[in-house]
Structure 1
Amino acid sequence: MLGVRHHGPGSARAVREALDACTPSVVLIEGPPEADGLVELAGDEGMRPPVALLAHVTDDPARSAFWPLAEFSPEWVAIRWAVERGIPARFIDLPAAHSLAQDPDRERDFAPATDPDATDPDATDPDATDPDATDPDATGTDVAGTDATGAATGADRDVDHHLDPAADPHRDTAPQEPRTGDHLRIDPLAVLAETAGYDDPERWWEDVVEHRGSADDALAPFAALAEAMGALRERYGDGGHARDAVREAYMRLQLRAARKEFGDAVAVVCGAWHVPALAARSTVSADRALLKGLPKAKVDMTWVPWTHRRLSRASGYGAGIASPGWYAHLFQAPDRPVERWLTKVAGLFRDEDRTVSSAHVIEAVRLAETLAVLRGRPLAGLSETMDAIRAVMCEGSDVPLALVHDRLVVGDVLGEVPPSAPAVPLQRDLTRTQRGLRLKPEAAERELELDLRKDTDAARSRLLHRLRLLRVDWGEPAAASRGSTGTFRESWRLRWEPELAVRVAEAGIWGTTVLAAATAKAESDAIGAPALSDVTALAERCLLAGLPDALPTVMSVLADRAALDADVGHLAQALPALVRALRYGDVRGTETGALAEVAAGLAARVFVGLPPACASLDAEGAAQMRGHVDAVHTAVGLLADVSPPGLRGRWQAVLRILGARDTVPGEVRGRAVRLLLDEGELREGEAARLMGLALSPGTAPADAAAWVEGFVGGGAGGSGGMLLLHDERLLGLLDAWLTGVSAEAFTDVLPLLRRTFSAYETGVRRTLGELVRRGPGATAGGVMAPAAIPGFAAEPDRERAEAVLPVLHLILGLDTPRAAQVDNDHDHDRAEAPV
């Protein structure tokens, strides 16, 4: 009986030594028996841990569970030991067919109702449906009988009940066993550490296991741990893990069968918590009675890549460890681990352009060893090395130390699974496509820049968009970098998570290839879309993903929804997505004729319905409608090149109507006038006239402030401030209105004005303040005189204007003689209109 701590490198080394000493005829391992046929794959050259066994219900892949294994997991060491020697290795835990078929109501028959791990198998989070969620692993420290299974929900709030009196109001401050009716879950590792006088269970584990040498008797450590677990189970019973009784009954039956076949030459590698229960005397009939009536489902199982980060307790994995990268290092470098670790840290810092010399490493090693002596530890552990790194290499700062924790203590190592591992057809097609596009899944997040004019990058873009349609979010669109905002460039953030294997399995119901599955999923989403804007967004995504076969269905649904939807707001929301889709279609060479027709028809309906829809709106409705006006304006500008002629003119006519009607809210009227001004459709002085009318004494102050917000605020952003800087008449009108508002009305309009001007950049606000401070005394007829504006002179400065010309000639590539001739010919014009 080799009781272990899962994901413990000391346990892994001890298991290897014990197996070498005993040479059993069969190795029994805690895990789902359905994986027996996958054991041989552990010896494949393409298999590189961390990996995980993935089980999911055949007809419902969302009901799934993982059994992660790292290189330093005792179970992985046992599997590899058996495969290398041709010895049978079998899993003996409760089958996944039973665990994943559990009905929540039936599960309460043997799991307490307060157990947070008696979860709904239909939960979408694959970790939340872990078949061994109630194992002591889920308490966060997995020495005593923990399994190598997926994370258990609610684990964090169940940790250390025996140490935290606040966890149970009925308990005294002194540690004592939990009351039977409370189903409190103990943390065996913390109990043992506390008994030994440690307040940190991880430090105790390092001192008594990781830092010990090889024992003379390879089985002695397991005997000692089994004795400790026996004492704990005698005191705490099932420790609040009622479900263990069923699992242990099945394990005992499997152990009897193995002993009947192989005699006593049997090695059992399981969580140490289970050892006393497996060694206990029990009848076959009693064990079978516990298993009677368990539901069963048909499950599929395979190997999938895992990551060190997902082995971390911080990821929510209940059986996780605090430092998977550190434990991997201890397993790989049993000799001089501190020196090797600090050398690795120095390499990381150098890669990040931090100055770290060999002297830093030497001093850090000395400091770590000295700290270990001062703290009474046999060897320096993770806490000593991290303290030494902070003091010597980080100059006392925790900022670079966080990089060490993220990259090395936890790490982003991603395992690999050989192509021969079982997989759904969709997964095989995805893997084949990834290889063809040289797009390797990685655990660390990375940026990917795509130029859609290149065939390979365009194919990568289509793959990532198709996966997003299938809810396989391997890539997430990011803001374009390198100063590029064109449609020919895309930026993505890529990060492969183990759960994506479950999403791929779920998406397998839509097709056997990524293209076929995404097409079927898009058609289904279009038919079931709740709103018109959802359908237009889907049409855009179909073009991004390159799904021409899905477009007819999507366009048919879109045309039907657009014809029946009379809400102008819905139509205005839908139009921008359609226009963007047209642009993306042009970039990708997709046929978008039908899309252009629908977009033009949608725009025409918006033009007709918008003026009536803007009448008599409250403040909230006006703000929302202003957003619709902005969106439609942008869409019309993009649509004008591919739509019937006259579309832009019709839209400008709509804006004129909106800007002139008194029944339209001030915010929308102001925005319409501003858009016409930006388009150059207002005669000289027309904008000032309209502003003067809007800010006249007869207009309510609140409505006038709303007009100002629409004209120079909101979506206008900093450009509204620049408009006021360069058009003194508008600034003078605004200044005259604001100074004439009564004190009571000013208090009411101040919040809206503050919101309007707070969007301006600091420099714009400062300059506006200077203009207003100096301007009122130099205005005539409400118009600020240029001479009163800082930076503006009454006459152009000829000398300053001419100083610009040489640079301008150089930029334009003009030769000096010709430039000089031009200067002479146009000397008078240059003085009147300086550069």
Structure 2
Amino acid sequence: MTARTAADAAATRPALGGATAEGAAATATGGEGAGAGFRAAVEGVDAVDRAAATAVARAAGAAEAAEDVVLLGVRHHGPGSARAVLAALEAYRPQAVLIEGPPEADVLVGLAGDPAMRPPVALLAHVVDDPARAAFWPFAEFSPEWVALRWATKAGAEVRFIDLPAAHSLALRPATGEDPATDPGAAPGGSGPEAAAAADVRVDPLAVLAETAGYDDPERWWEDAVEHRGGTADGSPDSGDPLAPFAALAEAMGAIRAIHGDGGHLQDPVREAHMRLRLREARRAYERTAVVCGAWHVPALAARTAVAADRQLLKGLPKAKVETTWVPWTHRRLARASGYGAGIDSPGWYRHLFTAADRPVTRWMTKVAGLLREEDLPVSSAHVIEAVRLADTLAAMRGRPLAGLGETTDAIRAVMCEGSDVPLALIRDRLVVGDVLGEVPPDAPAVPLARDLARQQRTLRLKPEALERELDLDLRKDTDAARSRLLHRLVLLGIGWGEPARGRDSKGTFRETWRLRWEPELAVRVAEAGIWGTTVVAAATARASDAAVHSATLAEVTATAEACLLADLPDALPVVMRVLADRAALDTDVAHLAAALPALVRAVRYGDVRGTDSAALGEVAAGLALRISVGLPPACSGLDADGAAAMRAHVDEVHRAVALLPDPALRDRWAAALRSVAERDGGIPGLLRGAAARLLRDDGRLDAEEAARLMGLALSAGTGPAESAGWIEGFLAGGGMLLVHDEKLLALVDGWLAGVPAAAFDDVLPLLRRTFAEFEPGVRRTVGELVRRGPSAGRRPGGAGAEPGLPGFGATLDPARADAAAHTVRLLLGTTTTTDLGTQGEGEADDD
């Protein structure tokens, strides 16, 4: 695990949930009750440590039993813990609820009760002057902390967050361009060599309890001990003490921490010192206080410590100015696979367990059947019934109280998927993990740029969605053009909500295709981009101007100019044009100019479609094209293999760009430069000479005879095999149809290849294989057949010295066989007469 350390995240997992967690713990560990169950779980410790473990456990239990405070240790994002917390709060009715989280978010608590707030959501804290330093505290519908928040807002209880302030934790985090943390309550300073070394020794309390109970999978133990124990055997709610599971858990965590100390969490003492100070404040102000925190922290909060000692731990911590807000979150980002330190394996499955009123397995199978039907897979009600039966049978055989995710998955694979794992991948992606995206009220605090972006999203009807989708835009329509401008501006700002994709239906410039997917981390990107302006257009303009001024190459400047036109940023163009003119005038490297031209030409082309003024860019593009044409032949001389390959790519790009320019004189000047490269015998690599000849041939500026002459020179005996192979690679790079339709070129290649010396053949073969591998399969097959038959095998012989025709065909016409074929053709055309049929019958009789 990352961010939240493995032990801290996993330590919260053993928290028993639901009103029946007491019986669940007893079942999982062989005890008679909640306390006995967890006592049995920690019986595996060494006898030498048992006394210390018992002492700490008793201290934790005593604090838990205090009348003015209850410590509700939970597993983050555990639905069982969420049910248990709700039951405990209803029974205890605290006046204040303290939750593990950044105290700066106290002012945002009221929004948790807003009907427009729909989890999953997250608290976002970031440094004002450095938004890249940020952290998230996610909450799902089934998170115990979220349940406590909603309960407190409805009950009118005071809510406070008690973890180490984000002002300290973010100030301690290095500003090295790291990805924003997605870790609730991540330990400050949790990076670097010390943190990496500590990660190797961190304790996973859930794994300890599961192993002691005889389980090899902590998640399976958690399901058996908590999630599958929703009530008594007849389905009625358990009437036991709702606080008993938390007392038992405190005892178990106390025993584990007595043995393992901080478990490798080097910064936990600082965090827990702050929590204790906030707890003392609440106990002085309220008669009944409930604390909802990770179960790992319960023993530390229950321990008796001096106030001065806690304050000493917090003394001298660095501090930064931070801002906090609510942002939408997704189930996918709650998953452990996303790198989230406190993540879970199956957010969608846990949400289902939390929201299913009864018969969770049956309801789950119904969801799966609905998904598969949407994908046109044949799944009937009988499949659902049989899958439920199989899942229940597997659970019974494996000794589990209820079918879990493993049993349901096995049943789905066998019954609904016919043994295939392919549909299971879809089920895991859509249901087990899920793409649920939360919502935040419009009046939630946000940076001005985020507010402007949200306003434009509503105006353009571009709702952020967690599931990736394609958006096809027709730039001739005002709404689609506005959407395109917004997406291009966001790309300039580094907010990767949309990614341009190749359109499927049209290659015209009036269409665009985007792949859209909203990720929670984009909220941080928006905050970072806020330094450029308060609106999207102002921020994108300032960002484009800065990018042009600080561009390292001419190509980067032209790319920025293209982006300005696509994003419709007329105020940025003067700055970009000034930088472009200065760089273009000073840069004499043809490769740099060639790399810059395509983006300029695209900008001019798109400017015409979008109705923007691109005349100035057109003039710069024409100037660059002329300079490239003049400097191309000398720039191609003396290049090694890598340099020749890079220059060939530039030549291809420039050739396509010049073809889009409206000035015929520029195209003629470029063609003259290509001819100079193709005909220059020495100094220019064969790859470039062959590529230039091919481009001229494709444009109709080089006839077949001239192409054959150039190929003959390149493949002559005086040219080295490697150089000749390079020429062929450059000439045939556009495809092998020239060899199919021009037998003279094929004969030259065939003859040269047959004459390559054996010593050089091994060096030439890889080049030729790479060249012919680019041909379409049909072209390769046709070329092979022509080589097998001989280059002139397809021509009808016309004299005494003529070569034979195609195999199976005679030199002259066979009237008898031709008559039989003609009869079949007349049958197909419907022109056969009775006489023809009689004649055919006689012929068939004679044949018989």
Shorter-chain TM-score range: 0.7 to 0.9
| Structure 2 counterparts to residues 233-382 of structure 1, below 5 A | 233-263=257-287, 265-382=288-405
Relative contact order, higher structure (CA 8 A, sep 6+)? 2
Choose which of 427, 442, 464 in structure 2 pairs with 1:404. Answer: 427
The residue aligned with 1:189 is 206
1:561 partner letter: R
The residue aligned with 2:177 is 123
1:671 partner letter: A
Report percent identity of matched pairs. 72
1:519 partnered with 2:541:
yes
8 A contact 1:670–1:708 mirrored in 2: yes
The residue aligned with 1:709 is 729
Shift of 1:618: 2.1
**Alpha carbons of structure 1 residues 153 and 66: separation in structure 2 relative to 1, 3 Å:** farther
8 A contact 2:137–2:182 mirrored in 1: no
Choose which of 145, 169, 183 in structure 2 pairs with 1:99. Answer: 169
The residue aligned with 1:656 is 675
2:675 partner letter: R
Could you tell me how far apart the structure 2 residues matched to 1:9 and 1:240 are? 27
The residue aligned with 1:17 is 87
The residue aligned with 2:112 is 42
8 A contact 1:786–1:793 mirrored in 2: no
1:208 partner letter: A
8 A contact 1:57–1:64 mirrored in 2: yes
Q: Secondary structure at the match of 1:282?
A: coil
- Show CA shifts across 1:406-439 (max 9, x none): 1111000000000110000000000000011110
| Structure 2 counterparts to residues 526-537 of structure 1, below 5 A | 526-537=548-559
| Aligned length, in residue pairs | 738
- Show CA shifts across 1:700-750 (max 9, x none): 22222221111112xx1x3xx111101111111222222222222333322
2:206 partner letter: L
Q: Secondary structure at the match of 1:56?
A: strand
The residue aligned with 1:571 is 593
The residue aligned with 2:706 is 686
Choose which of 418, 442, 451 in structure 2 pairs with 1:419. Answer: 442
| Structure 2 counterparts to residues 46-195 of structure 1, below 5 A | 46-102=116-172, 120-127=174-181, 132-133=186-187, 184-195=201-212
The residue aligned with 1:149 is none
8 A contact 1:133–1:153 mirrored in 2: no
Could you tell me how far apart the structure 1 residues matched to 2:466 and 2:753 are? 58
2:140 partner letter: A
The residue aligned with 2:611 is 589
2:306 partner letter: T
The residue aligned with 2:787 is 772
1:202 partnered with 2:201:
no
- Show CA shifts across 1:466-490 (max 9, x none): 10110100111112113x2221111
| Structure 2 counterparts to residues 402-551 of structure 1, below 5 A | 402-482=425-505, 484-551=506-573
Shift of 1:794: 10
The residue aligned with 1:8 is 78
**Alpha carbons of structure 1 residues 489 and 793: separation in structure 2 relative to 1, 3 Å:** farther
Could you tell me how far apart the structure 1 residues matched to 2:407 and 2:197 are? 29
**Alpha carbons of structure 1 residues 91 and 603: separation in structure 2 relative to 1, 3 Å:** same
1:509 partner letter: I
**Alpha carbons of structure 1 residues 10 and 691: separation in structure 2 relative to 1, 3 Å:** same
**Alpha carbons of structure 1 residues 789 and 38: separation in structure 2 relative to 1, 3 Å:** farther
**Alpha carbons of structure 1 residues 121 and 658: separation in structure 2 relative to 1, 3 Å:** closer
What is the TM-score when the length of structure 2 is the normalising length?
0.83
The residue aligned with 1:620 is 642
The residue aligned with 2:766 is 751
Q: Provide structure 1 residue ranges, at least 5 long, that are not aligned to the other structure.
A: 103-118, 139-151, 162-166, 168-183, 805-835
**Alpha carbons of structure 1 residues 792 and 38: separation in structure 2 relative to 1, 3 Å:** farther
Shift of 1:72: 0.4
Q: Secondary structure at the match of 1:62?
A: coil
Could you tell me how far apart the structure 2 residues matched to 1:369 and 1:683 are? 77
8 A contact 1:32–1:92 mirrored in 2: yes
The residue aligned with 1:832 is none
Q: Secondary structure at the match of 2:131?
A: strand
Could you tell me how far apart the structure 1 residues matched to 2:811 and 2:744 are? 16
8 A contact 1:121–1:129 mirrored in 2: no
8 A contact 2:187–2:267 mirrored in 1: no
Shift of 1:785: 8.5
**Alpha carbons of structure 1 residues 324 and 218: separation in structure 2 relative to 1, 3 Å:** same
**Alpha carbons of structure 1 residues 779 and 699: separation in structure 2 relative to 1, 3 Å:** farther
8 A contact 1:30–1:93 mirrored in 2: yes
**Alpha carbons of structure 1 residues 157 and 789: separation in structure 2 relative to 1, 3 Å:** farther
1:124 partner letter: E
Could you tell me how far apart the structure 1 residues matched to 2:668 and 2:587 are? 25
What is the TM-score when the length of structure 1 is the normalising length?
0.85
Q: Secondary structure at the match of 1:366?
A: helix
8 A contact 2:558–2:597 mirrored in 1: yes
Could you tell me how far apart the structure 2 residues matched to 1:302 and 1:672 are? 59
The residue aligned with 2:58 is none
1:495 partner letter: R
Q: Provide structure 2 residue ranges, at least 5 long, that are not aligned to the other structure.
A: 1-70, 232-237, 826-848
- Show CA shifts across 1:586-625 (max 9, x none): 1111110000000011111111111111122222222222
Shift of 1:24: 0.9
Shift of 1:207: 1.3
Shift of 1:15: 0.7
The residue aligned with 1:737 is 752
8 A contact 2:332–2:434 mirrored in 1: yes
8 A contact 1:226–1:276 mirrored in 2: yes
The residue aligned with 1:666 is 686
